[in-house]
Amino acid sequence: MTLSLDFNTLNDIPKSSLSYVEGFEFSVLEFFPPEPQIKTFMLSPDEALQGRSTDVLRRCLAKKPLSGRLGSRVLHLKIRKAIRVGDGKTSQIVLVDVVSGQGFTTPLVAKLYDPLYYDHSLDDVDPSFTSISNTPRKLLLTGTYIAVERNMFLVTLILLQYIAGDSMDTLQPHYFTQPLRKAIMEQIADVESRLYENNLWRRDTSPRNIIIQRLGFDSSNLHITFIDFKHASLGRSPNPKNNDEESRFFPGIYISPILRWYKTRGREPVYNFET
């Protein structure tokens, strides 16, 4: 994260207390966001000056809402527990129960994009939201909602299926047997490859985005789930909308990860599970 010299930081003015705590209740309204915008987001000189001269809450109140259209479904949610919250986070992630509203099994994960607690220097909180909420619907449980009771300004969010298990980045590889580590890596490679076969290029297969469920110490009950598709794209080439360029990447054809990953630039190892 790039730290920006905002008004509150420069003048040592605290922000409002964090609302995303156990027991907090709020209402959300169904919302259909615009298509993701594939471009770089930079603050203009005037916007950068405003960030250094205006309280962050005043800027949130003055910010125009994200374009898109409203749906008809309304839910009332109650936070069961915080998963990852705090100032400086890209999003506030909490586990919620549906107090009222039909058609949903609880608990759900709510991922809220609150600009009050993430004053990004490039102002790309909303693009991150639209990228995830426009992920193919079969990968999301409930679609996209928008909070309607938050300090008099709207906060965008998405609701996702809660996946029980452990995030891979919290696990210690030396507690796993070598056969179990091998089984974990095989499942990760298989899931990623099947997504790629269906022309979904997942660009962020990092440990924090992999949930591991296991009911014993062997590999027979092992289950791997990928979460967070913010950086995924529908297509294999750098420009999927260019049919000629996309055809060079053999869309729809299974390609072994051994071929695709060999000396791939930018690929990060998945901790010590690979050894």
The CATH code of the domain that includes 209 is 1.10.510
pLDDT band at 80 (very low <50, low <70, confident <90, very high): very high
Q: Pick the range with the lowest mean pLDDT from 38-42, 93-97, 268-272.
A: 268-272
Kindly state whether residues 146 and 40 are assigned to the same domain.
Answer: yes
Distance CA 166, CA 177 (A): 17
Nearest CA to 142 among 104, 173, 171?
Answer: 104
pLDDT band at 138 (very low <50, low <70, confident <90, very high): very low
Q: Is 143 exposed, middle or buried (0-12, 13-18, 19+ CB in 10 A)?
A: middle
Kindly state whether residues 105 and 183 are assigned to the same domain.
Answer: no
On average, the pLDDT of the chain sits at: 76
Nearest CA to 142 among 200, 87, 101?
Answer: 101
Domain that holds residue 220: 166-274
Kindly state whether residues 155 and 262 are assigned to the same domain.
Answer: no
**Cα 48 to Cα 4, 11, 15, 72, distances in angstroms:** 9, 16, 19, 37
Per the domain annotation, does 2 fall within a domain? no
Q: Who has greater pLDDT, 83 or 36? A: 83
| Single residue among 128, 145, 161 that ends a domain in this structure | 161
| Single residue among 161, 193, 212 that ends a domain in this structure | 161
Q: How many domains does the chain have?
A: 2
Per the domain annotation, does 1 fall within a domain? no
Kindly state whether residues 132 and 209 are assigned to the same domain.
Answer: no
Kindly state whether residues 87 and 185 are assigned to the same domain.
Answer: no
Kindly state whether residues 239 and 203 are assigned to the same domain.
Answer: yes
Kindly state whether residues 185 and 249 are assigned to the same domain.
Answer: yes
Per the domain annotation, does 176 fall within a domain? yes
Give the whole-number percent of the chain exceeding pLDDT 70: 74
Query: Which residues on adjacent β-strands are paired with residue 95?
Result: 81, 109
Kindly state whether residues 145 and 50 are assigned to the same domain.
Answer: yes
Residue 78 pLDDT greater than 80, yes or no: yes
Distance CA 113, CA 135 (A): 16
Kindly state whether residues 19 and 123 are assigned to the same domain.
Answer: yes
Kindly state whether residues 149 and 173 are assigned to the same domain.
Answer: no
Q: In 13-95, which residue ranges form alpha helices assigned H by DSSP?
A: 45-53, 56-62
Find where tokens 């695709």 sit. Answer: 260
Kindly state whether residues 156 and 180 are assigned to the same domain.
Answer: no
Going by the annotation, the residues of the binding site are 111
Kindly state whether residues 206 and 234 are assigned to the same domain.
Answer: yes
Going by the annotation, the residues of the binding site for ATP are 111
